[in-house]
Amino acid sequence: MIERHIRSIDDLGRSGIEEILTLSDHFHEVSTRRIPKVPALRGKTIALLFYEDSTRTRLSFETASKRLSADSLNFSIGSSSVKKGESLRDTVETISAMGVDAIVVRHGSAGVPWLLPRWTDAAVINAGDGSHEHPTQALLDCYTIRNKLGELDGKRITIVGDIRHSRVARSNVKAFLSLGASVTLVAPKTLMPFDTDDWGVETTDQFDSVIGDSDVLYMLRMQLERQQKSFVPSLREYAKEYGLSNSRAQSMKPESLIMHPGPMNRGVEVSSNIKEHPNSVVNDQVANGVIIRMSALYYLLGAGNVTKLEGFSDE
Amino acid sequence: MADPESTNTPLNRGVFHARSEIMNADGVRRALWRMSHEILEQNRGLSGLVLVGLEVGGVHLARKLAENLLEIEGQSVPVGTLDVAFYRDDIGIRQVTPSSPTDMPFDLTSRIVVLVDDVLFTGRTIRAAMDAIVDFGRPAAIQLAVMIDRGHRELPIRPDYVGKNVPTRRDELVDVTENGVLLGVIEEEKS
């Protein structure tokens, strides 16, 4: 049995990312069918274990499971025994005892997806762990860029905003770099992580200096729930220096892309009508979410997870 | 020794070593010509007919059959391609990766679908293909055309149009291209 997880982009490497992007071309075709569903993962059970709120990630994993004919179990923490104080370990062992093949986990603490394999044989997909990683978001962003601009090799991608608290930024930087793109991070110094020297990226606090060179402007969500600590003087000042306004968008290259992982704070990191900008691919990102998650699940449970049967011959 | 890059048979491991030539290029061309006529005869023309080539090996054969049918009847036949990976019954038993995305730009309801593949072996690919086909509509009929029927069926499936019946051993491999049909074995690559 090949043991596979998607806890970090590091679990995939360039070849894994490319395998998932290739699978996504197939699942994209499936999603255009009259019956957008295949029996590939019939009999498999996928548990969705979300300790943090989520709309699009949870729904897209659930839809992806159904379109692969897998069964999905939804553990929303608000209505489960976690409310009664059940530990993460006990919850995972309980789910595992029900016989699940994959666990999709979102948790407020970094590193939780690495704990799970101690307590379960299921494949683990990280759907966001604290400020650490969110690999399926990075995969769908790579897929969106590849579909619009071709291979990522040599592309210049600029990620703007609250890098410090962003799991999306951490996974995306790894994925973009593995596929050969170059990455520039733009943030005020208070929102730039301390260790970016090891990331293999350029950094700046001057947004306007990089707009014209970028093939992709990736705007991060300002994490308003984490702003009590005053990382920026005011949201208005942040919007003025780092927000993608219509006038800033005018200095973009004509074919470059505007991306955002959602949910969007209109008027903060992007101006209120930027989603409707002709270069915006925000809606494509959402549409590709289901497709990428089908690929991720199939990559773990279909393409790779092999148990050899006696006397079975390859055709 | 055949160059594995030139074959249509995806190799999971090892290298294909040809032992004998079953058909040459002329043989393949003549068989396709005869099968084209058989398809026409069986269906009394091309009305409602659709060819569906199975990825990878059936696609070029389906295109060739469509060319022949155009030449004979002066009428073009729609050709779709189908990758059956997600319908296979051995997902989780061996590594099942799709090759090229399915391309089926038409509804199959009330059409006569001729599935085209290079080699008919256990029949499991065809079983998967039939499941996939019904997701694209309810065809009036599904027929099967293969270049080589090599036996060893594991399911109650039989072809309607056959290029050639070839008795084989289970561990052998049949490689079909426009240039001919080779029978050989897979040998582990020595490093």
CA distance B116 to B37: 15
Rounded distance between C-alpha atoms, residue A163 and residue B167, angstroms:
64
Question: What pLDDT shows up at residue A56?
Answer: 86
Among A19, A28, A302, the residue with its CB nearest the CB of B92 is A302
Q: What is the pLDDT at residue A306?
A: 54
Q: Which domains does chain A have, with CATH numbers?
A: 9-134+287-303 (3.40.50.1370), 135-284 (3.40.50.1370)
For A25, the closest of B87, B95, B101 (CB atoms) is B101
Catalytic residue from among A4, A7, A106, A174: A106
Q: Is A260 a catalytic residue?
A: no
Q: What is the pLDDT at residue B190? A: 60
List the one residue out of A293, A300, A290, A23 whose CA is nearest residue B98: A23
Task: Report chain B residues whose CB lies below 8 A from the CB of A313.
Answer: 170-171
Please give, rounded to a whole number of angstroms, the shortest distance from the CA of A193 to a CA of chain B.
Answer: 39
Q: Which residue in A30, A35, A302 is closest to B91 by CB distance?
A: A302
- Domains of chain B (ranges plus CATH)? 19-187 (3.40.50.2020)
Q: Which of B82, B86, B121 to mutate to test the interface with A (most CBs of A within 10 A)?
A: B86
Confidence at residue A1, expressed as pLDDT on a 0 to 100 scale: 43
> Could you report the predicted ipTM of this complex, rounded to two decimals?
0.86
Q: Mean of the per-residue pLDDT values for chain B?
A: 90
CA distance B140 to B154: 25
Contacts of B155 in chain A (CB under 8 A): none
Alpha-carbon span B114 to B66, nearest angstrom: 11
Distances (CA, A) of A255 to A251, A252, A277: 12, 8, 12
DSSP string, A133-161: B-HHHHHHHHHHHHHHHS--TT-EEEEES
At residue A309, the pLDDT reads: 44
Distance CA(B79)–CA(B159), nearest Å, equals 19
Please answer whether residues A149 and A215 qualify as being in contact, where contact means their C-beta atoms are separated by less than 8 angstroms.
yes
* Cα angle for residues B44, B46, B51 (degrees, 5° grid): 125
Residues A23, A24, A25, A28: is their CA dihedral positive or negative? positive
pLDDT tens-digit map of A94-133:
999 999 999 999 999 999 999 999 999 999 999 999 999 9
Respond yes or no: is residue A56 known to be catalytic: yes
Written as tens digits, the pLDDT of chain B (191 aa) is 333 333 444 455 678 888 899 999 999 999 999 999 999 999 999 999 999 999 989 999 999 999 999 999 999 999 999 999 999 998 888 888 898 999 999 999 999 999 999 999 999 999 999 999 999 999 999 999 999 999 999 999 999 999 999 999 999 999 999 999 999 998 876 65
B47 has which bridge partners? none
What tens-digit pLDDT sequence spans chain A (315 residues)? 456 899 999 999 999 999 999 999 999 999 999 899 999 999 999 999 999 888 889 999 999 999 999 999 988 776 666 667 788 999 999 999 999 999 999 999 999 999 999 999 999 999 999 999 999 999 999 999 999 999 999 999 999 999 999 999 999 999 999 999 999 999 999 999 999 999 999 999 999 999 999 999 999 998 877 666 678 888 889 999 999 999 999 999 999 999 999 889 999 999 989 989 999 999 999 999 999 999 999 999 987 655 544 444 444
